[in-house]
Amino acid sequence: MDAIIIGFMGSGKTTVTQLLAEKLNVKFMDLDSLIVDQIGQSISDFFKDNSEEKFRKVETEVLKQSASLNGILATGGGTPIYNVNVIKEMDLPVFLLDAKDETIKNRLSKDIGRPLVNKLGFNGIIELKHERDAIYNELSDYIIFTDDKTPLEVANQILKILRR
């Protein structure tokens, strides 16, 4: 694997990782999609019959399996929180995509398909982001602020770092 992209929901992980993989001519990997392939159902359907603990076990296994693949990996927002040691052991550059609270709220307000937003509301989501920030920062080698940048600008910024 070439790099791992982490960050809170709405930070742009999936879009930026797709662009970056395209520019590097490597495989784009989205951990949530890899998990769906592994469990054979959507994550929301999985949660209907299973606990978060069971999901996190599957997530950890799929994350470990992905370490041997070539490409750029976008994690889920919670992945780093439950897999600090796994990510550290991967010994890859970790890029944190970060954004201000207002930016996250604006982006998530346009995306109604997020069960956690519906459950916690915007204030709860921002509180969760603040709880996760310390671990995101601990794991990241590079922090890229995405507020006033297009996904392409963010991908190009990461590309410059990777090519150093």
pLDDT at 47: 84
The two structure tokens encoding residue 69? 């693949």
Widest Cα–Cα separation across the chain: 46
Q: How far apart are CA 87 and CA 122, in angstroms?
A: 28
Q: Residue 46 in contact with residue 59, Cβ under 8 Å?
A: no
What 3-state class would DSSP assign to 60?
helix
pLDDT in tens, 51-87: 889 999 999 999 999 988 899 999 999 999 999 999 9
pTM of the shown model? 0.92
As beta bridge partners, residue 95 has: 5, 142
Q: Residue 118: how many CB atoms within 10 A of its CB?
A: 9
Domains, the chain, ranges and CATH?
3-155 (3.40.50.300)
Of 33, 46, 41, 1, the closest CA to residue 20 belongs to 1
What 3-state class would DSSP assign to 5?
strand
pLDDT in tens, 119-154: 788 889 899 999 999 999 999 999 999 999 999 999
